[in-house]
Amino acid sequence: MQNSYKPLRIAGMGYSVPETIITNDDLTKLYDTSDEWIYTRTGIKERRIVSGNESAVDLGFIASQKAIEKAGMKVEDIDCIIAAASAPPQLYPSLACNIQARFGMANHVPAFDMTAACSGLIYSLQVARGLIGSGLYKNILLVAADNNSRLVDWNDRGTSILFGDGAGAMVVTEAEDGIDDVLSLDIRADGSIGQYIYMNMPGKNCPLVEPCDEVDSTIHMAGRDVYKFVVTTLPDFIDECIEESGMSADDIDYLIPHQANQRIIEAMQARLKYPDEKVISNIEYYGNTSAASIPIALVEGVEKGKIKLNSTALLCGFGAGMTWGAAVIRLREGIC
């Protein structure tokens, strides 16, 4: 990024998860599986899921309220909302518009969704970096929220074991002290392997023309392909991101990876030669909450004393698309 760009400050963060817990043992009521099978292959013991009419909008709204409060701002200070949602409860109005409405924000605040699946928080941070850097907007609310439990096929034991629901939010603003909290950030995509994880929109052709194939609209995933892709592609990409930050891997205090599979997290940890205390994992309790997983792990890590602020962190995510991204960021005192 050019020096003339305005630096960005991460001002506040928050998260929200549903109350309802579904354990691996609970899943044995749905299909032939076991706690042992799920835990050894994924590191997941339980996940939170929405119930009744609760949705990603409710979770995203609560996470956003917390992030705005931690940023020391008022709702009126926010001048743009970007929501990173894989599959929001409504395609339109967008998740961001739903959250804008819930806050009762003024209509000069643009609100839009940005789909990069589980890489969404890092993607939206890059978009916000451009918008703040160019001076177009000052205080941007980034909100990642998904209710994956409504999108998985609960007969598919290979996929439904992995996902959980949750939301994370981050308020970013122009850094008036001139210190940029994003030391490096890169995002990538490869649509040619989009079939690794996909979700179709339902729909039928006009009855006056030849019908299209019927599709189902649950999450489909080729788990092994995703796994192989991630462990072969991400390590070099992360190395480049670290180099770009001007820091060494050892100098970075924490690795906060997308919580998709404990074995993938451990592969990254081994590559970086990080001790356990530098690696933030809470997949055991939440499963994969899509783009919300990084902010949930970050804020919860601070709350549980695993992360000390006034530090630096390497974030890395990957998801459907395939998309992936990494960032080295500064975690200032008081952000959560």
Task: Kindly tell me which of 144 and 260 has the beta carbon lying closer to ligand COA.
Answer: 260
Q: Which residues pair with 267 in a beta bridge?
A: none
Task: Kindly tell me which of 7 and 120 has the beta carbon lying closer to ligand COA.
Answer: 120
Count of H-run helices and E-run strands, the chain: 9, 13
State the minimum distance, in angstroms, from the CB of residue 38 to ligand COA: 6
Burial of 104 (0-12, 13-18, 19+ CB in 10 A): exposed
Say which of 258, 282, 316, 336 is annotated catalytic: 258
* Structural tokens at position 160: 């439904």
Cα gap 59→167, rounded to integer Å: 5
Task: Kindly tell me which of 38 and 111 has the beta carbon lying closer to ligand COA.
Answer: 38
Say which of 97, 288, 316, 336 is annotated catalytic: 288
List Cβ neighbours of 214 (8 Å cut-off, separation of 6 or more).
Answer: 204
Binding site for ligand COA (CB under 6 A): 33, 37-38, 41-42, 118, 157-158, 161-162, 197, 221, 223-224, 226-227, 260-261, 288, 318-319
Cα gap 208→92, rounded to integer Å: 26
State the minimum distance, in angstroms, from the CB of residue 42 to ligand COA: 5
List Cβ neighbours of 84 (8 Å cut-off, separation of 6 or more).
Answer: 113, 114, 115, 116, 120, 121, 123, 124, 142, 143, 144, 291
Half-sphere exposure of 171 (CA within 13 A, CB side): 27
State the minimum distance, in angstroms, from the CB of residue 161 to ligand COA: 5
Catalytic site residue 24? no
State the minimum distance, in angstroms, from the CB of residue 284 to ligand COA: 14
Say which of 118, 241, 316, 336 is annotated catalytic: 118
State the minimum distance, in angstroms, from the CB of residue 317 to ligand COA: 8
Cα gap 322→104, rounded to integer Å: 35
Catalytic site residue 118? yes
Task: Kindly tell me which of 62 and 255 has the beta carbon lying closer to ligand COA.
Answer: 255
State the minimum distance, in angstroms, from the CB of residue 127 to ligand COA: 20
State the minimum distance, in angstroms, from the CB of residue 283 to ligand COA: 10
Task: Kindly tell me which of 98 and 290 has the beta carbon lying closer to ligand COA.
Answer: 290
List Cβ neighbours of 14 (8 Å cut-off, separation of 6 or more).
Answer: 62, 63, 64, 65, 66, 67, 69, 70, 168, 169, 295, 299, 336
Give the nearest residue (CB) to ligand COA: 223
Catalytic site residue 258? yes
- Residue 203 zone, left/alpha/beta (φ > 0; ψ -120 to 50; rest): left
List Cβ neighbours of 181 (8 Å cut-off, separation of 6 or more).
Answer: 7, 8, 9, 10, 172, 175, 329, 330, 331, 332
The residue among 98, 173, 95, 146 whose CA lies nearest residue 294 is 146
Task: Kindly tell me which of 29 and 108 has the beta carbon lying closer to ligand COA.
Answer: 29
Task: Kindly tell me which of 245 and 281 has the beta carbon lying closer to ligand COA.
Answer: 281
> Three-class SS of residue 93?
coil
Asked if 140 and 78 count as a contact pair (C-beta separation under 8 A), the reply is: yes
The amino acid present at 278, given as its one-letter code, is: K
Instruction: Give the active site residues.
Output: 118, 258, 288
